[in-house]
Amino acid sequence: MVQVREDVAAAPAEGALGKHEDFPTRCTCGPRFLRLRSNHGELVQPRGGSVNQCEYCARLAAVENCEMLVLDALEGDAPQLVTILGTRTPTVDMDVFARGRQEVVRAVRRRWPDAQYAYEVEFTTGYGPRAGGKRRPHWNWFWKGIPREDVEQARDVVVSAWCRHVDAEPQAQYVAEIDNAVGLTKYVTEHFMKASQRPPEGFAGHRFKTSRDYFRGISVAVARRRAKESLRLKRELWKAAQAGFDAHDAELVARQALEDAYATVWVLTNDRGHRVGALQHQPGKMVLGLTPAERAIVLAIAATWRPRRLDPEAGIRNPPGPDPDVPPGSRASPAALF
């Protein structure tokens, strides 16, 4: 924990680690005999998305978590405080610490009712001189709604609540102001994406969690969708730059690539390309930033829609039986299927 605190304190000066340092090359938890087939005939193997079993999926999820927090901070609603809470208990059973986390939130909100949080759970490497080869969890919390000038009060509230219910030393906990929200968010989330920090085998809990109103005005699902679209645009911009386009043309090429991707419809098939699932359209997830009232209207309209059969001229061969199509102008992607 001492090294963790020193790293975090030095974060703005040292900068963030790269998102893809030692990045694994492929998903190892995806379904072996299933594929996704596009209306262009492309056949790809879907990801499994098991972040506690697959390092590739875990790293992609961590990148998305980082992007969610960074986009939120860039919009002017940045967290004010960071806390890193650890324990002396080497276990992967997160239920042991549930009471401690609940009491921390309860104690903070008694003093600051509007406080909101986001945290990531990671594990120490077990390499430290006093670790004994055992890995212990720690939680990286970002707090909104707590004034910076109340940092000393926040330290007393958080540390006392945590140490009352968790086997932890008060002097080993870290609470500080955030001067550079974007830089620190990137550093903390990307630093703990390293393979040596990932949970050990047997971990089955949530690695990332936010309070309901952390992303003020939008749900966590919408915030994650926005992060995915932002990362997709960045990837397309990188590809265009690698192809030799200047900044202006790279932006145009990237935007066109995104339009093509959004217009592509995917269907679940077996490994030979024969359909095993219906085309799936989720209008509530395709439009970002909807208010609850607008979202209800979109879902009500979708509920009245009746499927059409795919046009044989589209080049997709369908087995006998009903084969639903998507509404005109709709967009779907492989990510929408899972």
Identify whether the C-beta of residue 157 lies closer than 8 Å to the C-beta of residue 141: no
Alpha helices in the chain (DSSP H): 2-9, 11-14, 55-74, 98-111, 151-165, 181-191, 220-242, 247-263, 283-286, 292-303
User: Would you give the distance in Å from CA 128 to the centre of its chain?
Assistant: 29
| Predicted structure pTM score | 0.69
217: which 2 tokens? 């005005």
Question: Could you give the CA distance from residue 124 to residue 259 in angstroms, rounded to a whole number?
Answer: 42
Question: Could you give the CA distance from residue 167 to residue 100 in angstroms, rounded to a whole number?
Answer: 10
Which range, of 7-11, 100-104, 114-118, 296-300, averages the lowest pLDDT?
7-11
- Helix (H/G/I), strand (E/B), else coil: 161: helix
Which range, of 47-56, 67-76, 138-147, 269-278, averages the lowest pLDDT?
269-278
Task: Check residue 187 and give left, alpha or beta (phi > 0: left; psi -120 to 50: alpha).
Answer: alpha
Which range, of 10-19, 71-80, 114-123, 234-243, averages the lowest pLDDT?
10-19
Q: What is residue 316's predicted lDDT score, i.e. its pLDDT?
A: 37
Question: Could you give the CA distance from residue 120 to residue 189 in angstroms, rounded to a whole number?
Answer: 8
Identify whether the C-beta of residue 92 lies closer than 8 Å to the C-beta of residue 199: yes
Q: At what angle do helices 55-74 and 220-242 cross, to 10 degrees?
A: 100
8: which 2 tokens? 């975090």
In this predicted model, which residue has the larger pLDDT, 6 or 246? 246
Tens digits of per-residue pLDDT, 185-220? 666 666 555 666 677 777 888 888 999 899 988 888
Tens digits of per-residue pLDDT, 23-45? 556 888 888 888 888 888 888 88
Identify whether the C-beta of residue 157 lies closer than 8 Å to the C-beta of residue 175: no
Identify whether the C-beta of residue 330 lies closer than 8 Å to the C-beta of residue 281: yes
Question: Could you give the CA distance from residue 281 to residue 67 in angstroms, rounded to a whole number?
Answer: 25
Q: Which is nearest to 273 in space by CA: 32, 35, 48, 46?
A: 35
Tens digits of per-residue pLDDT, 229-261? 999 999 999 999 999 999 999 999 999 988 888
- Helix (H/G/I), strand (E/B), else coil: 23: coil
